[in-house]
Amino acid sequence: FLRMSVKAKELNNFNFLQEIISGLSYSSVYRLEMTWAKAKQHKVYSKFIELKDLMSNLHASAKYRQTLASARPPCVPFFGVYQRDLTFIEDGNNDYLRVEDGRTDIINFDKLRRIASVIRDIQQFQNVQYNFRKVSMLYELFQNTNKMEHLTEKELFPLSL
C-alpha cells in the first residue's frame, strides 16, 4: 500500500491517495507494530510520510491545494476538501441578506457565486481522462467486491493485536 500511495500521487489521483492514507490510519492497521517496524525500513516509507504531510488538513489543506493547483491533467482531486469548502460556504453564509430597510428576501448571490466556483473547480478535472487499458482479472475482482465479507471494527480489533 505504501508503493500504491506513491503511484497514486504520480497519477495525480489524490482521492485514492487519501483513501490509502485513511485506510492505513485505521486503528486496527495502525496497531500492527511489527508490520510498521518492517515498513519503516524501506525507502518508500519516508515518501509515504511526505504524502501524509501533503494530504494533511492543516491550514485548510494548504499543501494539497498548492499541489493540486500545479498538477497536470488527468487528475482526480480529493473530494473531501470540496465537501468541507461547500459546508463552510453553506453554514457560514445566509441564503438571504438582511438590508437596512428590514427586507429579508434579497438572495445572497455572493454565496451562490462561491458555490459555483467550487463546482467549476471540480468540473475542470472532468475534461481529461486517463488512458488505461482494461485488465480483465482486476476488473472482475472489483466487480465482485460487494460479495466480500466486511469486518467491523470490533471484529478487527483482536486480529490487530
CA distance 16 to 9: 9
**Residue 53: pLDDT band with limits 50, 70, 90:** very high
* 77 prior amide bond cis, ω within 30: no
pLDDT score of 155? 78
pLDDT at 41 over 50: yes
Q: What is the DSSP string of 79-118?
A: HHHHHHHHHHHHHHS-SEE--TTS---EE-HHHHHHHHHH
What is the DSSP secondary structure assignment for residue 40, as one 8-state letter? T
pLDDT at 28 over 60: yes
What mean pLDDT comes out for the span 2-11? 96
CA distance 9 to 101: 53
pLDDT tens-place string over residues 114-151: 999 999 999 999 999 999 999 998 888 777 765 546 77
Q: Report the number of secondary-structure helices (H) and strands (E) in the chain.
A: 10, 2
Percent with pLDDT over 70 in the chain: 97
Which backbone phi and psi does 13 adopt, to 5 degrees? -100, 80
Q: Provide the strand spans (E) within the chain.
A: 96-97, 106-107
More confident residue, 24 or 142: 24
Q: How far is CA 105 from the centre of its chain?
A: 37
Q: What is the DSSP string of 132-160?
A: PPP-HHHHHHHHTGGGS----HHHHTGGG
Rounded to the nearest 10 degrees, the angle between the axes of helix 62-70 and helix 14-25 is: 150
pLDDT tens-place string over residues 70-111: 999 999 999 999 999 999 999 999 999 988 888 888 999 999
Q: Lowest mean pLDDT: which of 23-27, 57-61, 117-121, 151-155?
A: 151-155
What mean pLDDT comes out for the span 34-50? 94
Q: Lowest mean pLDDT: which of 25-34, 48-57, 112-121?
A: 25-34
